[in-house]
Amino acid sequence: VDINPLAIQSVKKIISENKLTNVKTILTDCKTNLPCNSIDVVYLFDFFHEFENPEPIINEIHRILKNDSLFSLYDPMMKKIKLISKITNKNLFRFKSMGSKVCNFIKISEKSLNLM
């Protein structure tokens, strides 16, 4: 998923060159039109800091991820503590672990959210 058509074109080239059949590109600024609870892993790479209001993106990621699935985020432009706070402040995700560069979160299921 990307908002930039050139980025999508670049990924399509990689898909073609490597004869990948399990990768689909989506050109969008937020809404993916993917089914709810259909994705195992979401990885965001170096753009989260650009959003003044990341809530729609976080909501969309929560919507499409399967329960207890992984959301990984790399953004060297943000302090890790601020990044973790922005992702966990609405109780849609819980912090799981931190690698040397990547923060990992787990989706909190809708059932768990209803119990809170």
Residues pairing with 50 in the sheet:
none
Report strand pairing: 39-45 vs 65-74: parallel
pLDDT (tens digit, 9 = 90+) per residue, 1-35? 988 999 999 999 999 999 999 888 999 988 999 99
Residue 62 CB contacts under 8 Å (≥ 6 apart), including other chains: 92, 93, 107
pLDDT (tens digit, 9 = 90+) per residue, 23-82? 889 999 889 999 999 999 999 888 888 888 889 999 999 999 999 899 999 999 988 999
Enter the pTM of the model: 0.84
